[in-house]
Amino acid sequence: MIQAAYIHIPFCTHICHYCDFNKVFLHQQPVDAYIDALIIEMERTFERFPTPRLQTVFIGGGTPTSLTAKQLERLLRAIHRIVPLASNVEFTVEANPDGVSDEQLHVLKQWGVNRLSFGVQTFDDELLTRIGRTHTKETAIETIERAHELGFYNINIDLMYGLPTQTIAQLKETLHMMFSLPIQHVSAYSLIIEPKTVFYNLMRKSTLSLPSQEEEAYMYEIIMEQMEQHGYKQYELSNYARNGFYSRHNMTYWNNEYYYGFGAGAHSYMNGVRYVNAGPIKKYIQLIQQGQLPYVDTHVVSKEEEMEEYMFLGLRKIEGINKDEFFQRYGKTVHAVFNEAIALQKQDGLLEETDEAIFLTHRGKLLGNEVFQSFLGVSS
């Protein structure tokens, strides 16, 4: 059963130096035509792949709040008309700290959005400029506090560490600032240099000054320690929440469950098949106008692939892999499929095991990609 939906808004008023998501500058883009296509895609998809109730909806980007309040309202109205929402649905919208107005926040609140995710990245003005963000520390603080005043009591912020020239002192100051704000959830990611970004080009020219791997690992240790001290439980490698505020939407991915993906470049996983939508906006709209769903690639996931995905996604969770659940899903014990990989990672001190679960050790959290790699291509 499909219980989650991601909706992609690919427009931005500014492109950040590290971002490789499917996005374009907002200026002179066919925004209203895109919303029309998005609504039609949702209608056709729910006709073809119905589900009783969605537990989570996540509108991301790009920058969803680059839409006007009127455009947001049109999209949200359509979602309520088309999508079967559970009464306790977790409904998230991403926003830039300097790109959301009171009018937009009122529209979001009116149409049932109950979780906001702000791309803060850091509370250091010097670093914000360096990574290509347009907001300031003060703007971020004011926006978070204003959203809380208007009744949004489930607020996430994204943080980044390992930024160019970032120091331990700057990271600690950002965490100190964050802990003073009404924030229930934090996603803290290390900077990854992706192709076709400003940072990638700077790195190729050897003009990008990044912290060492040791410094980046130390930053991660500081984040884990500070989060725990201030009442944020780490429940996934990069995610921390106050009690009762886990991201139910993201848990869909880490539990390797099915989800809808709507919009240009979006990915879906439905009934054992992965679908990829056309990325270019004009191509996406064209496919919809031709009466099609906008898929440009489909892949039937084999049982072997599904088991591997279950392992490397599930091990991102701090609780790890539930052995009984693995058996219920696949009719095999996890050791019958992955015994050698598990044994090697336990021997290296990266995995730990109890009667109920298999999970990363503290050292394993620091070397997670190495662990995940060990489960690929070994289940056949």
- Give the CA-trace dihedral at 339, 344, 346, 350, to 10 degrees: -120
- Nearest CA to 232 among 175, 185, 188? 185
CATH class entry, domain 4-254? alpha beta
Which one-letter DSSP state was computed for residue 259? B
Q: Read off the pLDDT of residues 113-132 as tens digits, 9 standing for 90 and up.
A: 999 999 999 999 999 998 88
Helix, strand, coil tally for the chain in percent (to 5) = 40, 20, 35
Do the strands 239-241 and 260-262 form a parallel or antiparallel pair, or are they unpaired? unpaired
Structure tokens at 215: 């410094």
Say how far apart CA 64 and CA 79 lie, in whole Å: 14
Distance of CA 298 to the CA centre of its chain: 22
> Which residues in the chain show pLDDT less than 50?
none
Give the number of other CB atoms < 10 A from CB of residue 129. Answer: 11
Say how far apart CA 135 and CA 138 lie, in whole Å: 8
Q: Does domain 303-373 have CATH number 1.10.3720.10?
A: no
pLDDT of residue 201: 73
pLDDT of residue 17: 56
- Helices (H) and strands (E) in the chain — how many of each? 15, 17
Beta sheet of 295-300, edge-to-edge order? 267-270, 273-277, 295-300
Do the strands 233-236 and 4-9 form a parallel or antiparallel pair, or are they unpaired? unpaired
Q: Please, are residues 94 and 59 in contact by the beta-carbon 8 Å criterion?
A: yes
Q: Domains of the chain: which residue ranges?
A: 4-254, 303-373
pTM for the full predicted model: 0.94
Helices 168-179 and 213-229 pack at an angle, to 10 degrees, of: 20
Say how far apart CA 313 and CA 1 lie, in whole Å: 19
Q: Read off the pLDDT of residues 6-57 as tens digits, 9 standing for 90 and up.
A: 999 999 776 565 555 555 767 789 999 999 999 999 999 999 999 999 999 9
